[in-house]
Amino acid sequence: MAMQYNKLFEPVLLTAAAATILTVPAAVASMLLRNGILRLTNTSAAAVAVTLYSVPLAGANGVTNNFFPAKSISANDYVDVQVPMMKAGDFLQGFASTANVVNVQAISGAYYS
């Protein structure tokens, strides 16, 4: 099994509607994202709820793939979140109750094939 270390994605601000943050590369059909950890940082002066989804290839976000359901992040604080294992073509989506105040950064994670 080969392991590939790449930066998973550039930091991004969450919008108020679900948007894709990361798509697991599909160049190798057996590709897996494992041990993913995200940092969600609320830069506003008020608490903000964040929702994250681990969506299967060709799927849609919903209750079956929601792994961070409208969790509140306190003002000027951060939360580290573990990402479920994802396969080639799966994608990570998220949104916040207030747009453009919560940034998402990859802290850890590796692609395995």
What domain range is 89 assigned to? 3-112
The 10s digit of each residue's pLDDT in 16-33 is 999 999 999 988 889 999
The whole-chain average pLDDT of the chain stands at 95
- Band of residue 105 on the pLDDT scale cut at 50, 70, 90: very high
Q: Are 47 and 99 in contact (CB under 8 A)?
A: no
pTM of the full predicted structure? 0.94
Report the percentage of the chain scoring pLDDT > 90.
85
What is the spatial distance between Cα 83 and Cα 66, in angstroms, rounded to a whole number?
Answer: 11
User: What's the residue count for the chain?
Assistant: 113
CA distance 106 to 22: 10
| Residue 49: CATH number of its domain | 2.60.120.340
Q: For the chain, what is the domain count?
A: 1
Cβ 101 vs Cβ 44: under 8 Å: yes
